[in-house]
A and B are shown apart, each in its own frame.
Chain A
C-alpha cells in the first residue's frame, strides 16, 4: 500500500492537513474531546503550539497573528466550555473580516445530543458568528472539510471558520487524505473578477474637484496599500482611513488626513463634509463613520468592495466596482488623470492647521497623548501596535501614525475589551523581530490578564503600555458628557498593584505618575527587546477629542477647544 492510501487516524490527518496548509503556529488549550488530535500534534515538527491560559486568549492571538502577517490564524479548543470560550474572538474576527480557523473537539458521535459531559452544540452556536462552520461526522470527510474551510476563511472577504471534530472521528482511520471534490461553489474562494466599468469609474473621479479617498480594513486584507498610494498620488486626492484602515495609507503622507469617524480627526470629518466625490475603498460605511444617509452630503459616492452585500447596505452610492480592491484599483489606475486640485489640497492644509488634534499638556500629570507621541518618536513609528478598547485605543489611533499595513491591530467592529494583550502575543509570534506594543487600559487589561503567563512561558518580548485612570475611561467620558456626571459603576475602587502583578509573571514593570518621569518611563519601556510593562497613571477626567456624539453626524463634531461649550 502506498503512503498516500495508507489508513491513518483522523487526528493524524488533521495535523497533516494543517502542515500541508503551511500552518506554522497554532494557539490552543487541550481537553478531553480534543486529546487524540493533541496526541498527534505532539509528534509534529512543523507546527508550534502555544499553550494559552484561556481560550479567548487563543482566538485573539490567532487574530493578532493573522492581522500582522496576512496569514491564516489557527486556534484550538476542546468541546463544551473550551469551545464556548472562543465565541467572543470568533465574533470579533467575523466583524473585522479576519481569517481564522477554529478547531474544536466534540463529544463522540454516539454521544452527540445526549447532553454528554462537556457537550455544547458549538456548530449551532457559531452559525451566526462564523463565515462557515461544519461538524465532521466521519474521518473520510475530513480532508474535504479542511480544504473548504481554509479556502472560505481566506477567500473573498476573509472571516472565521469553525470545524467541530467529535472525538471518535479523531481516532477513526481513513485513507481519504485529499479532497477529491469540493461541495462549495468556486465563487466562495476564487478571486472574483472585477465587475463594473473601471474607465467610467475613473472618469467620475477625474471630474471631481474635491475628491476624498476613504480607505477601510478591506485595503489591508487585499494588500492594496501600494495601489492606494499610487491612486492617491496620481489623482492628487487626500486620503482618510477608518479605524480598521489605519496603515493602509501612510499616516505621515502629505495627502493623509488621518482617521475619520466618531473620534477621527476634525479635518478628516470636515473634509467629508466638503468633498464633492468620496471613494470608499474596502470600508463598509460603518455606523461609527457614516451615521446617516446624508453622509458626505455634497459628494458623488463611489464604492469598491469585494463583498457585493455591502453595496447600498447602509448608505446609497452612485457608482460601484465589485471585486478585490487591489485588482480593482489596478484596473482604474490607467484611466485616472491628475488634474489641478491645488485649491482643494490647500483647503485641506488649512483645515489641518485650524483644527489640529489637541490636548492640554500643562500641569504635572502625564497626558496619554503626550506619552504615545513619545513612544511613537522613540520607535520611529515602526512598532506593531495592538490595543484594547476604550479611550487608550482612540488615543493610540490618533497619535501613533501608521505608515505600513498590518501594524495596527485593534478590535474595530466588535469593540472587544481583552483583545489587546493576546493580539500582541499573536503578533509577536508572527513578527519576532519587530517591536510589538500592546496599548491597554486598566479595565481592558484585566479581561485577559492571565495571558501574561503565556508571555512569560515563551519569554516573549511583548511591551505593555498600561494607561491607568482607575476608571472605565470611555464609559466615564460618556457619563460625564451625556449623563450629568453620574459615574454609575465605572470607577474601579479596587485595582491590583499592576507592577507587582507583572513582576509576579516575571515581566519587568514600572509605574510613573508625574510628567518628570516620562522620559525615564519610555527608556525603561523600550530599552531592550525583552518584555516590559509600564503603568502610566493618567487623569481620570482626560477625554478623547474630537468626538462626534453618539447618534449625531459630522456636523456635530466636538473638538478639544469646544469642550467649554459642551459643558454648559
Chain B
C-alpha cells in the first residue's frame, strides 16, 4: 500500500542524505521524494511516497524520528489530505492528430507551454491518479520527455470534511 509521509526537517546540508540514507540501509524503497523550503528558511518540508504495509511505515516513522534533524513526521491519509504532483510532458503530434491532442489538453485542464509543428509541451498538476491518467492518454501520441516533481501533500485542517 502507498503511504505519503510529510516530514519537516532542519534545512542544512546533509539532511537529505541522512533521510534518504535511512531508507537505503533499512531496505525501504522511496517511490517519490519532493523537497522544498517552508516559510521558515531554517525548515524544509519533504514529501516521501513509499510502498509498504503498516509495519514498514511504522518502522520508517520511528527510525526517522530518531534523526536529530527530523522535526516532525506525519503519515498523510489520502482521503484527508491534498496530494499533488507537477509534471511536464513533451509529446509528438502530427497534423492529423493535433486537434485531438488539444481537446485532451482542454479536458485535463492542461497548460500548454510550447507548440511546434510536430510537438506539444504541456504542464499538468494533479494527484497521482490524474498524473498517471494523463500520461497513459498521451502515450499513444509518442512521449518525448517527461519531468515530474514527485508528490507533495498537505493535510486538510478540517479532518471531518471527508
Task: Check A308/B62 contact, CB under 8 A, given A127-B14, A127-B17, A128-B25.
Answer: yes
Interface residues of B (CB under 8 A from A): 10, 13-14, 17-18, 21-22, 24-25, 42, 55, 58-59, 62-63, 65-66, 68-69, 71
Binds B, one of A183-191, A278-286, A390-398, A526-534: A183-191
Assess whether A457 is interfacial by the CB under 8 Å rule. no
| Residues of A close to B42: CB separation below 8 A | 183
Query: Would you call A313 an interface residue if the criterion is a C-beta within 8 Å of the partner chain's C-beta atoms?
Result: yes
* Cα distance, A312 to B55, chains bound together (Å): 9
Chain A residue nearest to B17 (CB atoms) is: A127
| Chain B residues within 8 Å of A124, by CB | 14, 17
Q: Kindly provide the distance from the CB of A86 to the nearest chain B CB, expressed in whole angstroms.
A: 18
- A313–B22 CA distance with the chains assembled, in angstroms: 15
Told that A123-B14, A128-B24, A188-B68 touch, could you supply 9 new A-B pairs with CB distance under 8 A? Answer: A124-B17, A128-B25, A135-B14, A184-B10, A308-B62, A308-B65, A309-B63, A309-B66, A311-B62
Q: How far is the CB of A303 from chain B (nearest CB, A)?
A: 14
Among A152, A185, A307, A313, contact of B71 (Cβ-Cβ < 8 Å):
A185
A148 at the interface (CB under 8 A from B): yes
B76 CB to nearest chain A CB (Å): 21
Nearest A-chain residue to B63, judged by Cβ: A309
- Please indicate the chain B residues that have their CB under 8 angstroms from the CB of A313 in the complex: 59
Chain A residues contacting B55 (CB-CB under 8 Å) are: 312
For A307, what are the chain B residues with a Cβ–Cβ distance below 8 Å? 66
Q: Is the CB of B59 within 8 A of A309?
A: yes
Question: In the bound complex, what is the Cα–Cα distance between A313 and B24 (angstroms)?
Answer: 17
Once A127-B21, A148-B68, A307-B66 are accepted as A-B contacts, the answer to whether A134 and B14 lie under 8 Å apart by CB is: yes
Interface size for A (C-beta < 8 A) is: 20
The listed residue with most B CB atoms (<10 A of its CB), out of A124, A127, A135, A184, is: A127
Q: List 20 A-B contacts (CB under 8 A).
A: A123-B14, A124-B14, A124-B17, A127-B18, A127-B21, A128-B22, A128-B24, A131-B66, A134-B14, A148-B68, A183-B10, A183-B42, A184-B10, A184-B68, A185-B68, A185-B71, A307-B66, A308-B62, A309-B66, A311-B62
CA distance A361 to B13 in the complex (A): 61
Q: Give chain A residues whose Cβ lies under 8 Å from the Cβ of B71.
A: 185
Residue with the greatest number of chain A CB neighbours at <10 A, chosen from B14, B22, B42:
B14
The 6 closest A-B pairs by CB, nearest first: A309-B62, A184-B68, A128-B25, A127-B21, A188-B68, A132-B68
The chain B residue with its CB closest to the CB of A313 is: B59
Q: How far is the CB of B57 from chain A (nearest CB, A)?
A: 13
A132 and B71 alpha carbons, distance in the complex (Å): 15
Q: Which single residue of chain A is at the shortest CB-CB distance from B19?
A: A127
Hey, which chain A residues are within 8 Å of B24, CB to CB?
A: 128
Q: Determine the distance from Cα of A176 to Cα of B69 in the docked complex, in whole angstroms.
A: 22
User: In the complex, which residues 95-131 of chain A have their Cβ closer than 8 Å to any Cβ of chain B?
Assistant: 123-124, 127-128, 131
Q: With the chains together, A184 CA to B9 CA distance in Å?
A: 10
CA distance A134 to B71 in the complex (A): 17
